[in-house]
Each structure stands twice: as C-alpha cells, then as structure tokens.
Chain A
C-alpha cells in the first residue's frame, strides 16, 4: 500500500514536472474523449430521432363511399389479425374533412371550394405497423380480392405522415453520421495512443539516469514502471474530467437549438440521470488509453 502510494506520488510529480508534454498529451486525450462522447450523443439522438420519425409512418387505405358497416368491420378485423399491424384506426368521411380543414386552415379559398363540392374525401383506415420497414404485408392484405373491391379506386394506398423516400434518406444520412462518429473516435484513439506513446518514450529518455539509479538501489520493476503508467493514466483522468464538462456544456447549452432538428430529449435525460456513469465510462476509456500507450512505450524503450 505504501509502495503503491509512492508510485502514485512519483507519477503525479512527473506529470507536473513535464508540464508542456503533459499538457499536449492531455489536450489530445481531451479531444479524443470529447469526440467519443459527442459521437455517443449524436448516435443516441439520431437513433431516437429515426425512431420518432418511423413511428409516424402509417398506411392509409381509402375506402369506397358505398362500403357497408359489416364490410368495414370485416376488413378492419382482417387487417388487425396481420402480425405486423400495431393498430387500425378508422377515419370517417366527416373526420377526414375535419382533418383536411384543420390542415388547410390558412388557406380559406381551398376550404371555401370544399363547401361547394360537398365532401369529396373518402373514409379510410389508418394502419400503424409494428415494423415500419415491412409495410408490404399490410398492403397485401388490402389487395386480397374480397377487400380490393372495397377500396376507393381513385385513391391508391398511401404512406401518410412522412414520405417513405424522405424517411429512407433520413435513415441513410443518420447512418452516415453514426459511422463517421465511430471512425472519428477510432482515429482519435489511435492518435492519442501514438502521442502518449511518444510522450512516455521521451519521459523514459529524459529520466534514464533516474531509472538507472532506481535499479541500482534495488527498486522493483513495478516501482520503476508504475509512475510512468500512472502519469499516462493521469492524462486520461484529467482529460476525462475536462471532456465530460465540455460535453455537458455543449449538450445542455446546444439542446434548445438542436431540438428543432433532432430528438435530443432522451439523450439529455440519459445524461441528466446518469452523470456518474458518463464520467466513469470516460475515466475508464481515458485510463485504458493512457495505460496501454505507456505499457507499449515501456515494452520497447524501458529494459529492466
């Protein structure tokens, strides 16, 4: 325990002694850890955004005006028995008109026109899928002979809410951002490993006399190596603290602006609820990068 404490003290002293090198190594590590958190934030925000968007996808099946209540119930029942169907909502002609009016309330000419034309809007089923990626099964139910005749021939089934192509594009773009985040994280982990490797290599070089003396007076290998490992781990610890503060500031400060583009609410909730988990995760990553780099440097340059 005493020896362990001495190793920690020596490591901290070395950290302070090489202030410039330590600052550079800590800065790179801070950038790396910040990128890792930001990549995590954007990943989680994009995932919940996509989830939110795809939840809005539903299939609208427009019905003929002549459909009877029995036919309608039979059709609805058939749709509900499909395993991919989450819910089926019937929208009557009147409801459809009401919705249309609401949607176009800023366009009085259009609404005025409707009054002359009577109610041209068909009744419909709004079908919500469990998995929005596989809507074809629902369309297939509607295309069965017994139901096909019930559909309004002038209005084919449509994906309401958002357009499917747009949704697909959003998914592609966010996947691109997710993988960019991952690649950037990996690149920066490699860069900081190399920089810390080099910092420790220089530290070994400048302290070679001290190492020789330590050997001479009978220091054990871990008593000699320990301070270098702790010094490098300290880069990770300091960097983790800065990165977490920075990321929280960015996330909480930028949230109002971001909220109109992507869904950051659940991510913010996560960061608010588990600050210890975030800092602990960052500390582990930082310490591991530091310790790994210094052990690598010592295996090459510190022969005991």
Chain B
C-alpha cells in the first residue's frame, strides 16, 4: 500500500529530514510511527500528502509512483488519502455537517450524494446528533471526530492521523484511538503518529521508531521505547 524505497529529503536549508528511509506498509495495516520532535515524522507525512517532494528515492502509494505526479494531479493524490491533525483544522464558521460535506464538495460530488453520505459518516464517528452544531460548540474529542469523518467521507484507502490525541484528555484520546481501530477493521490502512506512550503500548500493533531521519526500530506489536513519552 505504501512503499518508501531509500527516500531522502533534504530541505533547502540543507537540513536532512529523512535519509535513505525504507518503509513498506501493507494494505489494512495499523501502523504507529513514533519519534522525538524533528525525527522526521512530519516530513514523512508531508511526503505522503505531497506537501513536500522527496529529494531522492522512490515513493509508491496505492500503486501510484510519486515521481510521475504532475502538479495539477496533486489534489487528486490528496483525495486518496485522509488526514487528521492534532489541531483538527475545521472550518470554524461552518456547521459540523458542512465541514464534512466540504471534502466531498471540492471533489465535485453531487448535492444528493453529499446529503446521503454525510449523516452516515457522522453516525459512524458517533456525532449523528451534532450535524447542525458549530465546531466551537463541541468538545476536543468531538472536534477530532468531525475531522476524522471529513477525512473518511471520500472513503480513502489510507488514513493518516498525525498526533490526533495530542490535544485531548485521556478519555477522549482513547475514544479516538478506538474509532481509528474501528476504521481499520473496516479495511482502511491507518498510519498513526503519537507521543503517547500509554496508547502505543496498549495498542500492541506494529510500531516504527524514527530517529534522525532513519528507521531505528520496526516491530510487530511494538512498544514505545523513546525517552519522554507521555
């Protein structure tokens, strides 16, 4: 599903973010990526969403070779991957339903299709009653659910969750992780980055540890082994 072959990313200021990184993630896997700040996690995600372009090596996602992507195809690449962030990135002046619908609108879905899909998705993430609320009326956990619903509405094969629990209390954090596991059970490949030691250890799923742009550990049913995890 995701293949990184000796991928290197050097930023214009000569900072090497990833150096010869090899990574292979199978379809329907649930993978957690851990690493201290500046280890290269964010760069890895930015390469996947094509916010950054790799300097060398090969990236293939869902059969698509990133070397062949033209600038105008980048939006299409992004529509194939759902992403959720620590800060939710919701449109504050739009209702929950509109936020979720937005992802379908940009890809040209018809109004009828949107009306049908949005309530279903909100039901899946447990927000069926909140469709008409604005984001500021929701708790942190609920906001993250909206973000997940938006990421999933186009039924991507891959969901990237970049520190999705960073702003949440433990109870809400767990609910979000459970939601991610549920989504994974439905067949979506989930890529999670987190600093939450407790979550990583409890998940008992594949854990990839990155340090200084390289993978230093890749274990099935791994554990959080870095210093300073929450």
A positions within 8 Å CB-CB of B = 2-3, 6, 17, 209-210, 212-221, 223
Given contacts A218-B75, A218-B78, A218-B79, contact A212 B106 (CB under 8 A): no
Instruction: Write the B54-86 contact mask toward A (1 if CB under 8 angstroms, else 0).
Output: 000000000000000000100111110001000
A215–B85 Cα distance when bound, in Å, is 14
Contact in complex: B106, A217 (CB < 8 Å): yes
Task: Across the interface, name the chain B residue whose C-beta is closest to A6.
Answer: B105
Given contacts A217-B79, A220-B75, contact A212 B108 (CB under 8 A): no
Contacts A213-B102, A218-B154, A220-B75 known; 10 new A-B pairs at CB < 8 A: A2-B110, A3-B108, A213-B89, A213-B90, A215-B78, A216-B83, A216-B89, A220-B72, A223-B75, A223-B106
A218–B93 Cα distance when bound, in Å, is 20
Contact in complex: A209, B106 (CB < 8 Å): no
B positions within 8 Å CB-CB of A = 49, 51, 72, 75-79, 83, 89-91, 93, 102-103, 105-108, 110, 150, 154
Q: Shortest CB–CB separation between residue A10 and chain B, in angstroms?
A: 9
Q: Which residues of the partner chain B approach A212 to less than 8 Å between Cβ atoms?
A: 89
Q: Which residues of the partner chain A approach B79 to less than 8 Å between Cβ atoms?
A: 217-218
Q: Shortest CB–CB separation between residue A79 and chain B, in angstroms?
A: 74
Q: Which residues of the partner chain B approach A215 to less than 8 Å between Cβ atoms?
A: 51, 75, 78
Contact in complex: A213, B108 (CB < 8 Å): no
Q: Which residues of the partner chain B approach A216 to less than 8 Å between Cβ atoms?
A: 49, 78, 83, 89
Task: Across the interface, name the chain A residue whose C-beta is closest to B51.
Answer: A215
Given contacts A213-B91, A218-B79, contact A2 B103 (CB under 8 A): no
Task: Across the interface, name the chain B residue whose C-beta is closest to A219.
Answer: B106
Q: Which residues of the partner chain B approach A3 to less than 8 Å between Cβ atoms?
A: 108
A2–B77 Cα distance when bound, in Å, is 21
A224–B76 Cα distance when bound, in Å, is 14
Q: Which residues of the partner chain B approach A223 to less than 8 Å between Cβ atoms?
A: 75, 106
A213–B85 Cα distance when bound, in Å, is 11
Q: Which residues of the partner chain A approach B103 to less than 8 Å between Cβ atoms?
A: 217-218
Q: Shortest CB–CB separation between residue B97 and chain A, in angstroms?
A: 15
A223–B79 Cα distance when bound, in Å, is 14
A117–B89 Cα distance when bound, in Å, is 103
Task: Across the interface, name the chain A residue whose C-beta is closest to B109.
Answer: A2
Q: Which residues of the partner chain B approach A213 to less than 8 Å between Cβ atoms?
A: 89-91, 102
Task: Across the interface, name the chain A residue whose C-beta is closest to B77.
Answer: A218
Task: Across the interface, name the chain A residue whose C-beta is closest to B107.
Answer: A218
Selected A-B contacts with CB under 8 Å, 27 pairs: A2-B108, A3-B108, A17-B93, A209-B89, A210-B91, A212-B89, A213-B89, A213-B91, A213-B102, A214-B106, A215-B51, A216-B49, A216-B78, A216-B83, A216-B89, A217-B78, A217-B79, A217-B102, A217-B103, A217-B107, A218-B75, A218-B76, A218-B107, A220-B72, A220-B75, A220-B106, A221-B75
Q: Shortest CB–CB separation between residue A210 and chain B, in angstroms?
A: 6
Q: Shortest CB–CB separation between residue A227 and chain B, in angstroms?
A: 12
Task: Across the interface, name the chain A residue whose C-beta is closest to B94.
Answer: A210
User: Which 7 residue pairs across A and B have the least CB separation, nearest first?
Assistant: A218-B79, A218-B78, A219-B106, A217-B103, A218-B75, A220-B75, A213-B89
A216–B154 Cα distance when bound, in Å, is 13
Q: Which residues of the partner chain B approach A210 to less than 8 Å between Cβ atoms?
A: 91
A215–B93 Cα distance when bound, in Å, is 18
Task: Across the interface, name the chain B residue whose C-beta is closest to A215.
Answer: B78
A60–B209 Cα distance when bound, in Å, is 106
Q: Shortest CB–CB separation between residue B46 and chain A, in angstroms?
A: 11
